[in-house]
Chain A
Amino acid sequence: MSDLSMIEAVLLTIITASTPLLLAAIGELVVERSGVLNLGVEGMMIVGAVMGFAATQATGSPYIGIVAAMISGVAMSLLFGFLTLNLMANQVATGLALTILGLGLSGMIGEAFIGQPGISLKPIALPVLSAIPFVGPLLFNQDILVYASYGLVIAVYFVLFRSRTGLIIRAVGDNHGSAHSLGYSVIQVRYLAVMFGGACSGLAGAYLSLIYTPQWVEGMTAGRGWIALALVVFASWRPARVLIGAYLFGAVSILQFHAQAAGIGLPTQLMSALPYLATIIVLIMISRNKTLAKVNTPACLGKPFVPDR
């Protein structure tokens, strides 16, 4: 293998490792921009993974699996929405509950699928673009979910910062009282954002069980939902930075594999702990600059909205 194709192979695996993080984080970014903190990403993701796998096995079509994963992510997010938006339950606790429930449900549903070989999603080469040397096969000979992740980053950027809809979402997230006074339905906007986040987490789960490792393994999300949450903080709630952050994290987790394969002296377990350690370090670096954190954080993040009628 020539050096160039070796680099290409490493970069390809980095994209594969980054995409689930990117999908989940871009969804959660919109949720948090609307003022809701949904800590249940891990739970929605793993239910998406198992439902995506189950639907694919049942129908033979990974595309139906993707749709099933999105629907189940949305269903989970609606549970969260009902508790936090209608019943004013504590968002932190409810998010944790969603994760615990999701891990339990996925274990139960997935038990029948353990050890089954899955059907992997095939890459689709985009005409013309994929012929570009080096970059082409890397970026434009991918599966539909990688394209979806590019598309989502661009779409979320334009909707949030270049459209009226985005202005409403951000207004609701920054000052729900004022948004309510202006006649916007805070609860409705937040519901839609939470559902969007659920769909994205479901997609991220589908990516894991249909592409990353096309099989069902219990607990296969392995904390990626939590890393996605950290990424949103790292990105200071900006879509482009989520993209950079996700690829950075993907790189850390892949280089860690290569270092293990190359027989670096460190124990494998300590290398495997690296992405989690990196998450902590990144969170520290971001929070050190307190004014920056304060300016970017949606002002109403995590605060329940009780309409005073």
Chain B
Amino acid sequence: MRIELEKRAEHSQLMTVVSPLIAIGLTLVCGSILFVSMGYNPIDALYAYFIEPLTTSWSIEELLVKAGPLVLIAVGLSVCFLSNSWNIGAEGQFTMGALAGSIIPVLFYDFTSPLALPLMILMGILGGMAWASIPAFLKVRFGTNEILTSLMLVYIAQYILDFLVRGPWRDPDGFNFPESRIFDAAHVLPKIGEGRLHIGMIFAVLAVLVVWWMLSRTLKGFEIKVMGETPRAGRFAGFSSNGVVWFGFLVSGGLAGLAGMAEVSGSIEQLTPVISPGYGFTAIIVAFLGRLNPIGILFAGLLLGLSYIGGESAQVSLGLTDKVTRVFQGMLLFFVLACDTLILYRFKFASSAKSMKEAGNV
């Protein structure tokens, strides 16, 4: 007896929805095994990780603060991935967006007009776009592998940030700490309510709606999907493959840049050498878990946001290392990819002899 994969005639609609849920379930099972192996009661650990953060309004707010950038970046990445371009350097575009968005609060801190924030937002988006345009240009012009170039640019962006906050952008009154000056109130994104939640989450929701509309209701969306799945057919239809590469990279870079600007201006309120707990990479998981669908990404972003908060909460209440978060995230992506098989294929249990006979009949 052996297990074989049989290609389905068409995508399974049911599995499109169910497979991410199976993946989450498998991740929880493996997570429990992990907790047991580390000597924790799995029920307590899972509770501390996934339920406890949802019991206080403070941590729900914090969850939204974390989910905001994840959703923003992932929505952009979904456009890129759908068109079969692999921008995996969102972390770098996030950093450059944060830097560009910080030019006004750090260098022109006297400029406190109401125009300052909209300008910062614009500069953040442009900063991310500019950084994403490097791999896009190299791919279109020379056919250079965009995976490697966009990733290398992450390291370069991080060194630039490090250089600026330790060098020219360091706060002159900051006792030599590697930090920029603290942003003026006019350069901080408005808060929602009393806590830390800022309007970055609204940007994320808007991005979800706009990209959803673009992908499902416009010709551009159709073009992206056609060029991603069957580039040959797309070219016959008159779509430009270079145009789609540019579009995907600029959208994903711009949104990652916006996320970076929002994180710095809304959450941290100054520049520090580390401004992201790996949002740009986690957003890749969010994009896949959300099935590259903006609405799905919204939910996936909340779940991955929860994994960050849960890591902190489990560290406080159980003394569990917060490194577990990254393991959870990695396992989740693995299971999501594995379960995707169910959409295109069905499992068939067949004895070897029987499958040989079937092969003979064909």
Binding site for B on A (CB under 8 A): 39, 79, 83, 86-90, 92-94, 96-98, 100-105, 107-108, 111, 222-223, 226, 229-230, 233, 267, 269-270, 272-273, 276-277, 279-280, 283-284, 287-288, 290, 293, 306, 309
| Interface size band for B | 35 or more
> When each residue 322-362 of chain B gets 1 if its CB lies under 8 Å from chain A and 0 otherwise, what string results?
01111111110110011011001100000000010001001
Ranked 6 nearest A-B pairs via Cβ = A101-B330, A104-B326, A269-B163, A104-B327, A107-B323, A273-B159
Contact call A287/B323, Cβ cutoff below 8 A? no
B316 CB within 8 Å of chain A:
no
Given contacts A233-B145, A272-B159, whether A89 and B341 have CB atoms under 8 Å apart is: yes
Q: Which residues of B contact A88 (CB under 8 A)?
A: 5, 341, 344-345
Given contacts A96-B88, A284-B144, whether A267 and B167 have CB atoms under 8 Å apart is: yes
- Once the chains are docked, how many angstroms separate the CA of A101 from the CA of B333? 9
For residue B4, which residue of chain A has the nearest CB? A309
Q: Which residues of B contact A98 (CB under 8 A)?
A: 334
B36 CB within 8 Å of chain A:
no
> When each residue 90-132 of chain B gets 1 if its CB lies under 8 Å from chain A and 0 otherwise, what string results?
0000000000000000000000000000000000000000000
Q: Which residues of B contact A223 (CB under 8 A)?
A: 151-152, 155
Q: Which residues of B contact A233 (CB under 8 A)?
A: 145, 148
Contact call A273/B334, Cβ cutoff below 8 A? no
Contact call A287/B160, Cβ cutoff below 8 A? no
Q: Which residues of A contact B183 (CB under 8 A)?
A: none
Contact call B144/A269, Cβ cutoff below 8 A? no
For residue B288, which residue of chain A has the nearest CB? A93
- Once the chains are docked, how many angstroms separate the CA of A254 from the CA of B167? 24
Contact call A105/B327, Cβ cutoff below 8 A? yes
Q: Which residues of A contact B355 (CB under 8 A)?
A: 309
B147 CB within 8 Å of chain A:
yes
Contact call A226/B151, Cβ cutoff below 8 A? yes
Q: Which residues of A contact B281 (CB under 8 A)?
A: 100
Q: How far is the CB of B159 from chain A (nearest CB, A)?
A: 4
Q: Which residues of A contact B340 (CB under 8 A)?
A: 89-90
Within residues 136 to 153 of chain B, which ones have a CB less than 8 A from any CB in chain A? 138, 142-145, 147-149, 151-153
Q: Which residues of A contact B143 (CB under 8 A)?
A: 287, 290, 293
Contact call A284/B138, Cβ cutoff below 8 A? yes
- Once the chains are docked, how many angstroms separate the CA of A103 from the CA of B91? 16
Contact call A111/B147, Cβ cutoff below 8 A? no
Contact partner of A103 (CB less than 8 A), chosen from B86, B148, B326, is B326
Beyond A233-B145, A273-B156, A279-B148, list 15 extra A-B contacts (CB 8 Å).
Answer: A87-B5, A89-B341, A96-B333, A97-B333, A104-B326, A105-B327, A111-B323, A226-B151, A269-B160, A273-B160, A276-B152, A280-B144, A283-B138, A287-B144, A290-B142
Q: Which residues of A contact B323 (CB under 8 A)?
A: 104, 107-108, 111
27 intermolecular pairs with C-beta atoms under 8 Å apart: A86-B5, A87-B337, A88-B341, A93-B333, A97-B334, A100-B284, A100-B329, A104-B326, A104-B327, A104-B329, A104-B330, A105-B327, A107-B326, A108-B323, A108-B327, A223-B152, A226-B152, A233-B145, A272-B159, A273-B156, A276-B156, A279-B152, A280-B152, A283-B148, A284-B138, A288-B142, A290-B142
For residue B325, which residue of chain A has the nearest CB? A104
- Once the chains are docked, how many angstroms separate the CA of A62 from the CA of B325? 30
Interface centre among A102, A103, A293 (most CB of B within 10 A): A103
Q: Which residues of A contact B325 (CB under 8 A)?
A: 104
Contact call B162/A269, Cβ cutoff below 8 A? yes
Q: Which residues of B contact A101 (CB under 8 A)?
A: 327, 330-331, 333-334
- Once the chains are docked, how many angstroms separate the CA of A85 from the CA of B337? 12
Q: Which residues of B contact A280 (CB under 8 A)?
A: 138, 144, 148-149, 152-153
Interface centre among A276, A279, A288, A309 (most CB of B within 10 A): A276
Q: How far is the CB of A140 from chain B (nearest CB, A)?
A: 34
- Once the chains are docked, how many angstroms separate the CA of A98 from the CA of B331? 9
Contact call A93/B337, Cβ cutoff below 8 A? yes
- Once the chains are docked, how many angstroms separate the CA of A229 from the CA of B152? 11
Q: Which residues of A contact B151 (CB under 8 A)?
A: 223, 226
For residue B161, which residue of chain A has the nearest CB? A269
- Once the chains are docked, how many angstroms separate the CA of A88 from the CA of B342? 10
Given contacts A96-B284, A97-B337, whether A277 and B152 have CB atoms under 8 Å apart is: yes
For residue A271, which residue of chain B has the nearest CB? B159
B235 CB within 8 Å of chain A:
no
Given contacts A273-B156, A276-B155, A276-B156, whether A283 and B334 have CB atoms under 8 Å apart is: no
For residue B156, which residue of chain A has the nearest CB? A273
Contact call B345/A90, Cβ cutoff below 8 A? no
- Once the chains are docked, how many angstroms separate the CA of A139 from the CA of B100? 48
Contact call B144/A283, Cβ cutoff below 8 A? yes
Q: How far is the CB of A232 from chain B (nearest CB, A)?
A: 10
Q: Which residues of A contact B256 (CB under 8 A)?
A: none
For residue B166, which residue of chain A has the nearest CB? A269
B216 CB within 8 Å of chain A:
no
Contact call A108/B288, Cβ cutoff below 8 A? no
Q: How far is the CB of A172 from chain B (nearest CB, A)?
A: 19
Q: Which residues of B contact A288 (CB under 8 A)?
A: 142
For residue B328, which residue of chain A has the nearest CB? A104
B321 CB within 8 Å of chain A:
yes
Contact call A83/B337, Cβ cutoff below 8 A? yes
Contact call A87/B338, Cβ cutoff below 8 A? yes
Q: Which residues of A contact B7 (CB under 8 A)?
A: 306
- Once the chains are docked, how many angstroms separate the CA of A86 from the CA of B345? 11
Q: Which residues of B contact A279 (CB under 8 A)?
A: 148, 152
